[in-house]
Structure 1
């Protein structure tokens, strides 16, 4: 029985050695596959970084184009169109201060409107007609001034510089 035990022990040792060899081989294969996966992941990371960089560059360029377009549109709308609109309304409805409200001068527009309404009320006394005539004259003069200025000069004077009168 001792020979059987010895043979059995030898068989067990051989099996154990085989299991160790197989485990070592499996570990080596797993390590090799993990290294390959790591290399693949690094490559995918580099590609993703390049794509993100390209996308960021394109987004930055698109944002700059949009900003330039918006600035150009703002300059066209705020300069030329407000100038013509304020000038024409100053000539036609200048006594009521409409041209002042268009340019964002609410206080000055309110003053013109208030004086004109007060003049209309006082027109039955007689002095009101002169007051209304003066506010009409102010609107007429400002409308002509607005229309005779260049777009850039108008924009810098009345919209950037905020010059409220004449």
Structure 2
């Protein structure tokens, strides 16, 4: 088992770099800085007192989920402050503008059918890990991760069509 504080300290720079990529790509409208996002995620990780970390992969998977939630909270906060619905720009694989809350709702629906796809989306989209690193984190082959990433993108493209009910 890993020591939470030592692991967080050791991987902080990697999480900050991932947050910078994510915010630059997916949420340029937010005034949230990468350090703020990672600090918020770190605070939430520290609050998980009863959580035991099996390994680095487990830590990254949990961090991806926590960063996703922290970004959603920032979007909701901005929406309340501005009273308008901002768009989040996804990278070309999804090739459309999508509202972050719609993406979250779609991921919740996908999780009930294929939780392994949601883990890949979280690590790829919210943390910004490349396929080969996701393969290491999830202990899967890069080909499997690539195939599942493609399936998740296609599912999300369909689920996020403007005429789809949320």
TM-score, normalized by length of structure 1?
A: 0.26
Larger Rg over CA atoms = 1
Which structure is higher in RCO with an 8 Å CA cutoff and minimum separation 6? Answer: 2
TM-score, normalized by length of structure 2?
A: 0.26
Q: Which protein has the bigger helix share?
A: 1
